[in-house]
């Protein structure tokens, strides 16, 4: 199977991992999980917990862009093998983005976010020259 498909799967489950970090932080900060009003409680998180929630939300948003980008490339006739290197590079950018988010390194986080975005632009460029 083409590596880009594994990357798509990893990007789909990565936000769940980040949510797990946020849950641990909720337990630590509040002593329990408020399952009746979880979003209200999540909104009160501070520090790493708040950043984990923000990273999770950003991961979902970025996954939508990448999935759309891969679909465009596939529909244009770009081979899945040609997407291997850009997909792995995008995955690296996303892992670094989450790590920098958790470590509160905003400038590095923004730089790797841009790297991921430019990777998507590159893939769309591949689609444009293939179609």
Q: Helices (H) and strands (E) in the chain — how many of each? A: 5, 0
- In the predicted structure, residue 122 carries a pLDDT above the cut 90: yes
Closest CA to 52 of 102, 16, 106, 13: 102
Q: Which fold has domain 3-130?
A: 1.20.120
Nearest CA-CA partner of 74 in 15, 130, 1: 130
CA dihedral over 31, 36, 39, 43, signed as positive or negative? negative
Domain boundaries, the chain: 3-130
What's the pLDDT tens digit per position in 42-100? Answer: 999 999 999 999 999 999 999 999 999 999 999 999 999 999 999 999 999 999 999 99
Rounded to an integer, what distance in angstroms lies between the CA atom of residue 92 and that of residue 36? 36
């Amino acid at each position: 199977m083409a590596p880009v498909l594994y990357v798509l799967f990893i990007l789909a489950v990565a936000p769940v991992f980040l949510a797990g970090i946020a849950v641990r932080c909720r337990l630590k900060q509040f002593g329990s999980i408020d399952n009746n009003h979880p979003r209200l409680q999540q909104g009160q998180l501070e520090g790493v917990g708040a950043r984990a929630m923000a990273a999770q939300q950003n991961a979902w948003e970025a996954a939508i862009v990448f999935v759309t980008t891969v679909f465009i490339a596939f529909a244009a006739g770009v081979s899945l093998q040609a997407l291997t290197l850009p997909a792995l590079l995008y995955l690296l950018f996303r892992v670094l983005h989450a790590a920098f988010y958790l470590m509160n390194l905003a400038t590095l986080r923004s730089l790797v976010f841009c790297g991921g975005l430019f990777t998507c632009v590159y893939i769309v460029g591949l689609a444009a020259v293939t179609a």
